[in-house]
Chain A
């Protein structure tokens, strides 16, 4: 091997050209790093192929009826996931409505000079702790705190406003509303964190210009800051929705796992993730193929929502530059 570096090197220099070993080590190290990057790609492809491939027999057998069917009965081999899709979307949207409101107002509260730094650090820690608590603990808490707490309210709403379809049934323990409430708490940190980043990315001079024109604190926030950060905040909401759609444990413990399509907030429902969690552990080969089909549907829904969310986020980041 010729050594072009040695020629330029002073005889007493501490610098050395790479030895042959160095070069081989370097090559294999770079190769390994490339393998690592390829491994992530392979993992995503494998996820889609593995779940999709195992779902093929189910798709061939049940086709589109699987998505439009409303009965899930392993004994008669009738499988339909429309109630689960309905429950997934309904609970996620309810959670987004509640968690989105609190998450975005928390983000505004923390970024728009309402608090001295020390107090806002306290709220920031509260949000981070909310994010750190495992979902199964939220489920347990939901069973023993949330459901008993909202039972009287639910009964009262059903008794006085029962004519409205949202309150048309009584809450008998698990149901859509407790599930959606707990889900809202679980997605709040995601929404608050991403919306905070979006609000912080708005240049300071934008706010100063609003103040300079005589805007009040809240006029500056609602008419200048929030519209400027709108894409990022919307991205935060979409990412929160993506989390809500895929969340499993809290729903499996709180939603009631009953296959029905109802507008009522108090009736038990089912979600795709809860359906998988409940049926997979005891599934025979017949059921595995339909569960794989259901998993594929869940993956498709969350993938579309999440990719939309990250595209929005990168669009918002580009807009700020």
Chain B
């Protein structure tokens, strides 16, 4: 019987023992592939950082070379003129961002209150949320086209308010979506405690939800401001550009073309004059610094308190 034979100790002794596993370090094909892919990931991550370093280097060397007090106080130079600055463009950027913020922040926060607190599951909230998400993907130039159709064509002139409206369209979805998220993070027990003491919706929102969520709301607002400050496309044909101060000789030129840093960079970038190109780099440095300072400030304000 074969089964008995196999089990017999004499037969088992005849079969050779399996070879002991090698204890030497071997590199298998798949391990090698892993190493190759890891190096590829490193290379691509480092390559992706090159543009940033190059941009910052150019800004500091070419923009920093021209940066002095004069550029903040003088008007843009014409053609072959030397010197000059972008004081009016800096003022124009501030004015238009403030107009945009004055429209977008109140509307955005009220809308966020509705989305987060008053009717989060209502049909209106679902639609408004979808609208806000759609707006985040809106090409910025279309915000400009909208403001052109709404404001420039009705008032008949390029102006700072038209530019402000275009920027507000871009800021609104950022404010709404971040403020809604911020308010949703407020612990429910805090709200319930306030309701339990007989507070109205308004009192709960104004005295509990908003103060608690304020740091995160500020982050969203500042991100929106930073984005708006750097936008060019929506200002190109709403605020246009101007070589003069917005307040000229004690007279506020509110309804006339207004300069902005971003449009100045765009206009000067195509000019054949060295002076204008230097100013474009200096303006870029100032613009990037403004955007970065606002971004960093938002991070400091936005640190969660608990």
Q: CB within 8 Å of B: which residues of A?
A: 5, 15-18, 22-23, 25-26, 29-30, 32-41, 43-44, 46-47, 50-51, 54, 101-102, 105-106, 108-109, 114, 123, 126-130, 132-141, 143-145, 185, 188, 216-219, 222, 239, 242-243, 245-249, 252-253, 273, 276-277, 280-281, 283, 288, 291-292, 295, 298-299, 302-303, 305-307, 309-310
Contact = CB atoms under 8 A, between A and B. Distances in A.
A99 B147 CA distance: 31
Given A217-B38, A292-B145, A33 B110 contact: yes
B232 interface: yes
Given A137-B288, A247-B139, A26 B201 contact: yes
Contacts of A132: 226, 230, 288, 291-292, 295
A303 B37 CA distance: 36
Interface stretch (B10-18, B44-52, B248-256): B44-52
Nearest to A54: B149
Contact of B134 (A22, A44, A138): A44
B140 to A, nearest CB: 6
A137 B139 contact: no
Given A39-B107, A253-B266, A18 B230 contact: no
A320 B112 CA distance: 26
Contacts of A144: 58, 62
A302 B113 contact: no
* A18, A36, A127, A253 — most chain B CB neighbours (10 Å): A36
B93 to A, nearest CB: 11
B87 to A, nearest CB: 19
Nearest to A125: B52
A18 B202 CA distance: 11
B140 A43 contact: no
Given A40-B131, A218-B33, A298-B142, A105 B41 contact: yes
A120 B42 CA distance: 12
Contact of B114 (A34, A246, A248): A34
B137 A242 contact: yes
B107 to A, nearest CB: 5
Nearest to A25: B202
Interface string B128-172: 100111110111111011101110010000000000000001001
B79 interface: no
A43 B34 contact: no
Contacts of B89: none
Contact of B266 (A47, A126, A249, A292): A249
Contact of A292 (B149, B232, B236): B149
B232 to A, nearest CB: 4
B128 A302 contact: no
Contacts of B59: 137
Nearest to A103: B48
Contacts of B198: 5, 15-18
Contact of A30 (B140, B176, B201, B231): B201
A17 B200 CA distance: 9
B236 A280 contact: yes
Contacts of B137: 239, 242-243, 246, 302-303, 305-306, 309-310
* B47, B114, B124, B197 — most chain A CB neighbours (10 Å): B114
B237 interface: yes
Contacts of A140: 265, 269, 280-281, 284
Interface of B: 30-31, 33-34, 37-38, 40-42, 44-45, 47-49, 51-52, 54-55, 58-59, 62, 106-115, 117-119, 124-125, 127-128, 131-135, 137-142, 144-146, 148-150, 153, 169, 172-173, 176, 197-203, 205-206, 226, 229-233, 236-237, 240, 262, 265-266, 269-270, 280-281, 284, 287-288, 291-292, 295
A56 to B, nearest CB: 12
Contact of B142 (A128, A246, A253): A246
A23 B201 CA distance: 9
B210 to A, nearest CB: 11
Contact of B265 (A17, A35, A51, A136): A136
B47 A246 contact: no
Given A33-B114, A136-B230, A139-B269, A22 B141 contact: no
Nearest to B142: A299
B49 to A, nearest CB: 5
Contacts of A5: 198
Contact of B148 (A101, A102, A114, A280): A280
Contact of A102 (B31, B33, B47, B115): B47
Given A106-B48, A218-B37, A246-B141, A137 B284 contact: yes
Contact of A44 (B33, B44, B55, B131): B131
A39 B20 CA distance: 76
B30 A216 contact: yes
Given A23-B200, A40-B132, A292-B149, A106 B44 contact: yes
Contacts of B200: 18, 22-23, 25-26
